[in-house]
Chain A
């Protein structure tokens, strides 16, 4: 069964600090996604990681993928208050039957303190 776990679930950090969010998944998947969600809002796509060793960066966020370890990381550099949100990773997989599954992680609620 495809499962996705994130840690930590909650993260409170000071502005200017660095931190990493981890995303582990249980079985082979096709791609790894990162999303951001602000309270009461929908999801905003941040990154799509397609292959082992993929690294993508946008502003203070950098995502990487290790398919052998089934691990993705979202690294935050010099955090600012505007990054406060809930971050989700997700994986998708075409099953052997040909049908499709898409599984979200538990989410990491990030609060950046001034």
Chain B
């Protein structure tokens, strides 16, 4: 059983640029969630994808967007990067039946994004 993987591990961008982060879900999981964790803070829910559609969203602007692919992997895209977007971006996968997850989420190692 393979765990959740994310790429890249580190990324440096400049303000105004666009970035794409990638996540492969754990084997058998069909749901992917993305979180932003600023230094010293708790993770903030960005959005969740289930059946290739956005299933819920936190308080993030539309320049944060995502995709889920038929193999349940996912991408997080951030346009017009701002300095405050510097953070650890975590992806988590889970298995959903109906409206609820059957177990906890399993987190990937994260992508650390620095915006200069």
Contact = CB atoms under 8 A, between A and B. Distances in A.
A12 interface: no
A101 B43 contact: no
B90 A88 contact: no
Contacts of B110: 42
Interface in B73-104: 90, 92, 99-101, 103-104
Give the interface size bracket for A toward B.
20 to 34
A66 to B, nearest CB: 20
A102 interface: yes
Q: Which of A33, A41, A43, A44 is the most central at the interface, judged by chain B CB atoms within 10 Å of its CB?
A: A43
Contacts of B100: 30-31, 94
A48 interface: yes
A94 B98 CA distance: 11
Interface string A59-97: 000000000000000000000000000001000101100
Nearest to A109: B40
A97 to B, nearest CB: 9
B103 A105 contact: no
Given A42-B109, A45-B105, A48-B103, A99 B55 contact: yes
B16 interface: no
Main secondary structure of the interface of A (DSSP, over half): strand
A100 B42 contact: no
Interface string B53-65: 0011110000000
Given A42-B90, A43-B90, A99 B56 contact: yes
A46 B104 CA distance: 9
Contacts of A44: 107
Nearest to A44: B107
6 contacts: A42-B110, A45-B106, A45-B107, A88-B42, A94-B99, A103-B45
